[in-house]
Structure 1
Amino acid sequence: MALTFRAIHEDQPGPKWAGLFAEYWPSYRKWWSREGLAGRPTYLECRRALRTHMPELVPIYEELCERAGGGDLEARFLSFYCPPRYLSGCSQAVWQGDEPLLVRNYDYSAQAFDAVVLRTHWQGRGVIGTSDGLFGLVDGINDAGLAVSLTFGGRREVGDGFGVPLILRYVLQTCTTTQEAGEVLARVPCHMSYNVTVLDAQRQYLTAYLAPDRPPVMTNAAVATNHQERVEWSSHARFTATVERQRFLLQRLTLHPETQDKFIRSFLQPPLYSTAFSSGFGTLYTAAYRPRHASLQINWPGRVWTKSFEVFDEDMMHITLPDTAGVAFL
């Protein structure tokens, strides 16, 4: 299975972003409307939700809607408000050395993945991140050195709120410290359960347990996999080995002091690295964020791709994913 990652740099929404949207929109429209258009909020409901909870994003949202063609469906999709449910795997952890370092595996379906690392300077804030829906991010860093990443929280419940990738975008557009990010995560509603880890250049970090049906919980957890304070969806937990991955990471952080490079390499091996690509939970990449350098290093077995605000080449990385069925967790 082949996957091509692209690095795109466009400071303000323009022809590059519009071209990407036109390329991806047919697939996203099919996914977004799969439960029927009547099941998705109206444009007015979406815009009202954005103005209520993320007002700073409204100007860039409106500009993106115009670049996407100004249609009703495109605008509703780009709001990320009450989208269809979606699940991912993922593991993430804050290295316990002196240098701030956030490492994560993104475990998801290759067919539903943008495979775009986007550098923008929207509304005066530099952001580099892995795109989702071409507005949201599944992980990223801003020019203040604030890094953020998500994992699925391991619960079935769905409610009124935003898709978490847009919440990550909002954090990076408006916050510079972990404390500020925590305040945002505590108040913006999320439509499903997710774990969001935040790390800043002063090495302050938190992991927020977000949910649609109960108040968010802010923790000082350095590790997040696919459950929150306890396992609540046992079959999903078994399939993704969330408890085993959490224990493995906690052991590495507490019992095996190691270098940054060795810690990053551990994400490319079992039990963290998954080859369950046929089931939509294979590890598509390993990202290492270094807040003090405002840089991103994306890793695959035998391959490394580095991006930063100082050096950001618009290039591509061609990756071959193993065609292995099942789960590679041991």
Structure 2
Amino acid sequence: MLWRALSEDAPGPKWAGLFAEYWPDYHRWWLKEGDAARPSYLESRRALQEHMPEIMPLYEALCDLAGGGDQAARFLSFYCPPPYLSGCSQAIWPGEEPVMVRNYDYDPNAFDGLILHTGWQGRRVMGTSDGLWGMVDGVNDAGLAISLTFGGRRVIGDGFGVPLILRYVLQTCGTAEEAGAALARVPTHMSYNVTVLDAKRRYLTAMMSPDRKALITHAAVATNHQENVEWVSHARFTATVERERFLLQRLTLHHDPEDKFIAAFLRPPLYSTAFDAGFGTLYTAVYRPRLRQMDVRWPGTVWSFGLDDFQESARRVQIPGAA
């Protein structure tokens, strides 16, 4: 896979170039159920204005850079997008230095392969891009880190694609408490577990669903189910319960040092090569929110970034098990 790391303080030509490059594929995905299956521009805009008004100026600027078209604007709202599934494991390491570690398990053909560093609206954010302004994990200049896993439920409802919700939290929140309030309020179109960790080691996991109130927990581990397994076949295939038990044992029984705990994410049962089913591990991310640092890892490879000294770069990575 080709990975790129790009930085742009304000929405501009770099982001516009990314949109032009990625839009044909995203456009096909957005329309795979037909144009009528997606909300109208007015519905999408009203939902964004109601639930995430602080980022409306940013949304409008990105729509302009995308050419101002109807379908592009609806896509960028992330309101009621097509359903999509991922695997993923994430955990908070209980050491003195706040650390969040996560594996992202997904289809490599439906992935941006992009580390994005932005200074939009005066808030610096870096993380792994999805949908060109959403995030599947990231950290901001207040020292708040965030990551998502799929929640293992079939229910689909009216709400936003969770990568935009993560972007919203990173743009507007500075503490775990603030993030929890936002995650409890903004509607999601599918079930997700979102874990946040701030610079003072405060953390929480929000179990979000479209058909019930978000459950804000003090869980340090999240895989691909919520309180109980509801989608049994998905749980068996992704080994969500086994991965959760493994991580809880590492945290409570073994008391691994930080390097050993991180290394466990690069091996089974956490590390997956099930790319033929769309659930292979694309990368491991390590966030140190107090230091505002991020590592992207693969077996034998570490790619490090600092929010304060971010360097644009690119690299090709051979992902074990991926075609």
TM, length-normalised to structure 2: 0.99
Shift of 1:317: 2.2
Distance in 1 (CA, whole Å) between partners of 2:204 and 2:308 is 27
Q: Which one-letter code corresponds to 2:132 in the other structure?
A: L
Does structure 2 conserve the Cα–Cα contact (< 8 Å) formed by 1:164 and 1:194?
yes
| Counterpart position of 2:131 | 133
Contact 1:195/1:210 (<8 A) preserved: yes
Q: What amino acid maps onto 2:317 in structure 1?
A: I
State the distance in 1 between where 2:321 and 2:228 align: 32
Does the residue aligned with 1:304 lie in a helix, a strand or coil? Answer: strand
Q: 1:191 aligned to 2:189?
A: yes
Cα shift at 1:324: 6.2
Name the CA distance, whole Å, in 1 between partners of 2:14 and 2:145: 25
Note the residue ranges of structure 1 that are not aligned, 5 or more in a row.
326-330
- The counterpart of 1:143, out of the listed 137, 141, 144, is 141
Structure 1 counterpart of 2:236 = 238
- Partners in 2 of 1:234 and 1:55 — Cα distance? 38
1:32 corresponding residue in structure 2 = 30
Please give the residue correspondences for 1:297-308 in structure 2 after superposition, counting only pairs within 5 Å. Answer: 297-308=295-306
Residue 316, structure 1, aligned to residue 311, structure 2: no
Would you say the 8 A contact 2:298–2:319 is kept in 1? no
User: 1:173-202, CA deviations, whole angstroms, 9 ceiling, x for partnerless residues?
Assistant: 000000000000010000000000000000
| 1:248 maps to which of 238, 246, 249 | 246
- Unpaired runs of at least 5, structure 2: none
Aligned to 1:224: 222
Q: d(CA) in 2 for partners of 1:300 and 1:66?
A: 37
| 1:57 maps onto 2:46 in alignment | no
What letter matches 2:254 in structure 1?
A: H
* Alignment correspondent of 1:260: 258
Report the residue type matching 1:187 in the other structure: R
RMSD over aligned Cα, in angstroms?
0.9
Q: Deviations over 1:147-191 (max 9, x none)?
A: 000000000000000000000000000000000000000100000
Q: Which runs of 4+ in 1 moved over 4 A?
A: none
Confirm or deny: 8 A CA contact 1:81 1:163 kept in the other structure: yes
> What are the residue-to-residue correspondences of 1:88-107 with 2, within 5 Å?
88-107=86-105
Cα deviations across residues 64-113 of structure 1 (Å, max 9, x unaligned)? 00001110000000000000000000000000111100000000000000
Distance 1:292 1:183 in 2: 21
Partner of 1:157: 155
Q: Aligned partners of 1:15, 1:259: CA distance in 2, in Å?
A: 43
Mark the CA change 1:324 to 1:124 in structure 2 (over 3 Å): closer, same or farther: closer
Q: Number of matched residues?
A: 323
- In 1, Cα distance between equivalents of 2:322 and 2:35: 36
Match of 1:212 in 2: 210
Matched, 1:75 2:73: yes
Q: Hey, what does 1:279 align to over in structure 2? A: 277
- Contact preservation (8 Å) 2:105, 2:282: yes
After TM superposition, give the deviation of residue 283 of structure 1 in Å: 0.3
Distance 2:39 2:121 in 1: 27
Question: Partners of 2:315 and 2:271 in 1: how far apart?
Answer: 19
SS in 2 for 1:88: coil
Aligned counterparts of 1:291 and 1:314: Cα–Cα separation in 2: 20
Counterpart AA for 2:224: N
Tell me the distance in 1 between the aligned counterparts of 2:322 and 2:162: 29
Which among 291, 294, 297 is matched to residue 293 of structure 1? Answer: 291
TM-score by length of 1: 0.97
> C-alpha distance in 2, partners of 1:212/1:324?
32
Equivalent in 142, 150, 170 of residue 168 of structure 2: 170
Inter-partner Cα distance in structure 1 for 2:322 and 2:39: 38
The secondary structure found in structure 2 opposite 1:57 is helix
Inter-partner Cα distance in structure 2 for 1:145 and 1:316: 25
C-alpha displacement of 1:28 = 0.3
Contact 1:278 1:323 in 2 (8 A): no
State the Cα distance separating 1:312 from its structure 2 match: 1.2
Q: In the aligned structure 2, how far is the partner of 1:110 from the partner of 1:133?
A: 14
Maintained 8 Å contact 1:61/1:78: yes
Q: 1:328 is matched with which residue?
A: none
Structure 1 match to 2:45: 47
- CA–CA distance in 1 between the matches of 2:304 and 2:320? 23
Q: Equivalent of 2:200, from 199, 202, 227?
A: 202
How far apart are the structure 2 equivalents of 1:96 and 1:292? Answer: 14
